[in-house]
Structure 1
Amino acid sequence: MKILIVEDENKTADYLQRGLSEQGYVVELAHNGPDGQHYALQYEYDLIILDVMLPGADGFSVLRAIRAAKQTPVIMLTARDRVDDRVKGLREGADDYLVKPFSFIELLARLQAIARRGRGQDPMQIGVGDLQIDLLSRRALRDGKRLDLTAKEFALLATLARRQGEIISKTVIAEQVWDVNFESNANVVEVAIKRLRAKIDAPFRHKLLHTIRGMGYVLEARDEDAELE
């Protein structure tokens, strides 16, 4: 899940970026209204966290520009606990509203609620063979045993699971999980795949994570006779 934070207070922006990154989200920052509007319209995000009081253009004007072009979910932040501000934000098209200071846990809960609504019929649980992945609670079990995954390892597994049976290139994985582009000789993805494979495959007889040479990786359950790696 890729999130844009538009927040001019560096301390708040850094806190949110660090906390959400630790939860496995890909996070980008903008520190003023014009930059936030540009990023929101130019790129695709799963959710935008938008402060009301911004230099250059306030959050309400940025929200109006976003809603004129797309329906990306938006959570608005404000230091002003005024009913008319909250009503204005919701009428302008905000999906939710938080008043500073707020609990990070509450932000996560609201973010997850919006994600559930947006996904519609997209399942929150994915099964690949005897591997079960709960995208909401961020848990993965194989053969009934809990897998000890880091935030990035879970994000990588979720990316592969959502497109199970499909070969995903290193470039696509890097963009989805790390939000970076890198040269072809970089080994970021290879190292991450190796660590993930050690946890989800090494202790088990049947392998689920497969390397397709020259193309990328695929997560799928195969017949034992077809497992060549």
Structure 2
Amino acid sequence: MRILLVEDDELLGRALYTGLEQAGYSPEWVTDGETALDAVRSTAFTAVALDLNLPGISGIEVLKTLRQKSKMPVIIMTARDALEQRIEGLDLGADDYLVKPFKLVELLARIRAVVRRTQGHAQSLIVYQDIELDIGAHTVRKGGKWIKMTGREYRILELLMTRVGRILSKREIEDHVYGWDGDVESNTIEAAVYTIRKKLGKDLISNVRGVGYVIPD
């Protein structure tokens, strides 16, 4: 999942970016509101972690603009004494909030929760036929047996299993799996889909020629 992190504090931003990456997400980190808005105009993110105290365009203004055009999950991050900001952010449509300082595990849990709600999954476990994917634990089982997957394979499978019946183009999959600046070889997605099929069944993912990939409903 691609996560947009909007945080102008260098130390906190770097720590959160590293933590998100190590947790298996594809984070993009920006430090001001204008760049954040540019990012969401050009890229589809799964969720946004948004600091409200930003230089230039404030986090509140970023949230207002986002909510005019998108239902993308937004978690706002505020200082401990910024109660009015939190209330204003929630009233404007933020999905959740975190009070600084907070632990990385709490941010990860909040991201998982808002994404599940947005995608219509109240629980972290998604089941398709004999395949079980746990969004919270980042694990996959088939027929009750644990299946070892690379981070890339897991992210592609998660994307497709949370959108069963919807055809996703190669570009859409690349946008969710890789970062802005990541170099993606032309056959990377095809190779990952091939190995997923080997591990979970050749009929799991269908290739709609010239359109993209889908897990049939």
Taking structure 2 as the reference length, the TM-score comes to 0.77
2-structure distance, mates of 1:28, 1:184? 16
2:192 aligned counterpart, secondary structure: helix
**CA 1:147–1:31: 2 relative to 1, 3 Å:** same
Provide structure 2 residue ranges, at least 5 long, that are not aligned to the other structure: none
5 Å-filtered alignment, 1:1-229, equals: 1-120=1-120, 124-128=125-129, 130-162=130-162, 170-179=170-179, 186-201=186-201, 207-208=202-203
2-structure distance, mates of 1:213, 1:118? 26
Instruction: Pick 1 or 2: higher relative contact order, CA cutoff 8 A, min separation 6.
Output: 2
Q: What RMSD in Å do the two structures reach over aligned CA positions?
A: 3.4
CA contact (8 A) 1:86 1:97 kept: yes
**CA 1:181–1:188: 2 relative to 1, 3 Å:** farther
2-structure distance, mates of 1:66, 1:167? 25
- Determine which structure has more spread, i.e. the larger CA radius of gyration: 1
Deviation at 1:120, TM superposition (A): 2.8
Q: Deviations over 1:193-222 (max 9, x none)?
A: 454445435xxxxx44568597566657xx
Provide structure 1 residue ranges, at least 5 long, that are not aligned to the other structure: 202-206, 221-229
Taking structure 1 as the reference length, the TM-score comes to 0.74
2-structure distance, mates of 1:41, 1:190? 27
The letter of the residue matching 2:28 is E
2-structure distance, mates of 1:107, 1:35? 22
**CA 1:180–1:219: 2 relative to 1, 3 Å:** farther
Paired positions, count: 215
Deviation at 1:4, TM superposition (A): 1.3
1:57 aligned counterpart, secondary structure: coil
